[in-house]
Structure 1
Amino acid sequence: MTTLILALAAGAVVGLALGGLGGGGSVLAVPALIYLLGFTPAAATTAALLIVIATSLTGLVSHARDGHVRWRTGGLFAVAGILPAAVAGALSVRIPAGVLSASFAVLAVPSGVRMMRPRTPVRPETDAAGTHPADRAARTDAVPTGRALRAGAGLGAVTGFLGVGGGFLAVPALVTVLAVPMTTAIGTGLLVITMNSVAALATRLTTPASLDWAVIAPFTAAAVLAAWDGKRLAAKVSTAALQRIFGAALLAVAVFMLADAVG
């Protein structure tokens, strides 16, 4: 019974993070599966991918219905990162786990700080129809292809090397590098997470780990349900507040991983 309660509680937290913030699924799920539910690291990472795929798809559908997904940008972002992630993942096996965790923390801190201190850009004047160019770009998904590919490849290399942080790094990159509004970055980030997680899971099918479905099933169910609540919560919170929440969560995860690496 205790295990079931822990699985439900952890799943709810993961779902809220993915639905409301567009990231944090694997970063939160893997430690929960290892430290709270007794999974081995190999089993935890595989189970986390299954949980994140199901939950991200749920959140993605919800955000897509509201028009908060940039399909072209997200697709370019994710596709560009697949090969770099595979190459970096192969190299990462030679690096001690503690070094990888510390590296992630070092990379996550500046992203978190930047997200907590969002700058309001100076909006250009409207056109004859009273529409801002930024708003037109948001509707047409007019992010430069080259920039999206470079950002996606860089993120793929980082996440493949470190093994965690896809969503927590994708959303800040979408906001700060590609100037995607926070509400749209959340939905687009879920698209990136889903595609990257499916690709990562495919590479693990050749070496399947033993999975405890009695834990994974309730964990996933709670996460899927909580993702809807997270999405509704995001709709009620201002963009600036969401960025601060996201940045604070990213910093908290970075501190935890750094402490775990040092300890």
Structure 2
Amino acid sequence: MEIIELLGYFGALVIGVVLGLIGGGGSILTVPVLVYLLSEDPVTATAYSLFVVGTASLVGALRNMQKGLVDFKTATVFAIPAFIAVYLTRKFAIPAIPESIFTVSGFEVTKDIGIMLFFALIMVLASYSMIKDKKEELEEAEVEVKYNYPLIIVEGIVVGFLTGIVGAGGGFLIIPALVLLAKLPMKKAVATSLLIIAVKSLIGFLGDVQNMEIDWVFLGIFTGLSVVGIFVGIWLNKFIDGGKLKKGFGWFVLLMGIYIVYKEFTH
């Protein structure tokens, strides 16, 4: 096994550790690890990422259910439009993207390059949400949950579409939506978002199972390492402040996004 491949499997462990430490964000690394270290093409990488993200989030969601932190009604209202959107995106939209999207000044933007550039944009947006200081005054407040149904449905569709394209969980979009649109306290929003991410990612992956050959052995090993990483991250959480780490990780994600743009344009 080559060193770069070993780094790829180590990356799977790191993804889980980050998820366990800061409760999200690690999934944004899954596609770059699969593409640049394990030589998967971007379409396959985003498919595998859905399975890894969905399984890892499900582990986190089950832990939160035991603590009574998951708001099932909110999860249902948000998840239904999200998982319909992600399934349709993976089943129909991704296969419909042409292999050559457009050419500018002799530079051809292929399907693979287009997906990675769009992914880099999502990474930059995600990094911003991690870097900026959030006011968490809703952290402990017990407020009545209210639903802005039209906005929640629209947000669910948008998040589902983005998840379908790039294979990331979209927690950085879901958590603010749950706090602002459903008035959930922050801890419940984080816990509920994991259940939403798990459901929509795994259902989105079903769209891929119907479209492509899945290497289940490889996917099982990669996902297993990520889940082990989650428990390592949860254990490390006792000694390390996840809040402080989150900002540093945000800067790392920003640099990764810039690197992907550079890599794709100089490919």
- TM-score band by shorter chain is 0.7 to 0.9
- For normalisation by structure 2, the TM-score amounts to 0.73
Tell me the amino acid that sits aligned with residue 46 of structure 2: T
Shift of the alpha carbon at 1:210?
A: 4.5
Greater relative CO (CA pairs within 8 A, separation 6+): 1
Aligned-partner Cα distance in 2 for 1:203–1:241: 37
Which of 173, 188, 191 is equivalent to 2:195?
191
Tell me the amino acid that sits aligned with residue 195 of structure 1: V
Aligned-partner Cα distance in 1 for 2:54–2:126: 24
Specify the alignment match of 1:226 in structure 2: 229
Aligned-partner Cα distance in 2 for 1:6–1:42: 21
Specify the alignment match of 2:104 in structure 1: none
Aligned-partner Cα distance in 1 for 2:252–2:70: 22
Higher mean C-alpha displacement, 250-259 vs 73-82: 250-259
Higher mean C-alpha displacement, 103-112 vs 7-16: 103-112
Tell me the amino acid that sits aligned with residue 75 of structure 1: T
Matches within 5 A, 1:6-155: 6=7, 8-24=9-25, 26-89=27-90, 90-92=92-94, 93-94=97-98, 95=101, 96-120=111-135, 135-137=141-143, 141-155=145-159
1:42-77 deviation per Cα after TM superposition (whole angstroms, max 9, x unaligned): 443343333333322212212222333333223322
Structure 1 residues 46, 259: CA separation in 2 closer, same or farther (over 3 Å shift)?
same
How well do the aligned residues superpose, as a CA RMSD in angstroms? Answer: 3.5
Shift of the alpha carbon at 1:211?
A: 0.9
1:49-107 deviation per Cα after TM superposition (whole angstroms, max 9, x unaligned): 33333322212212222333333223322212233334555345245333343334335
Aligned length, in residue pairs: 250
Contact kept in structure 2, 1:21 and 1:186, CA below 8 Å: no
Shift of the alpha carbon at 1:166?
A: 2.6
Tell me the amino acid that sits aligned with residue 145 of structure 1: Y
Contact kept in structure 2, 1:43 and 1:209, CA below 8 Å: no
Specify the alignment match of 1:127 in structure 2: none
- For normalisation by structure 1, the TM-score amounts to 0.74
SS of residue matched to 2:141: helix
Shift of the alpha carbon at 1:227?
A: 1.0
- Percent identity between the aligned chains? 24
Q: Which runs of 5+ in 2 are unaligned?
A: 102-110
Structure 1 residues 77, 260: CA separation in 2 closer, same or farther (over 3 Å shift)?
farther
Specify the alignment match of 2:106 in structure 1: none
Structure 1 residues 149, 261: CA separation in 2 closer, same or farther (over 3 Å shift)?
same
Aligned-partner Cα distance in 2 for 1:237–1:87: 40
Specify the alignment match of 1:258 in structure 2: 261
Structure 1 residues 39, 101: CA separation in 2 closer, same or farther (over 3 Å shift)?
closer
1:85-141 deviation per Cα after TM superposition (whole angstroms, max 9, x unaligned): 345553452453333433343354345324422242677xxxxxxxx9x7223xx65
SS of residue matched to 1:199: helix
Shift of the alpha carbon at 1:235?
A: 6.6
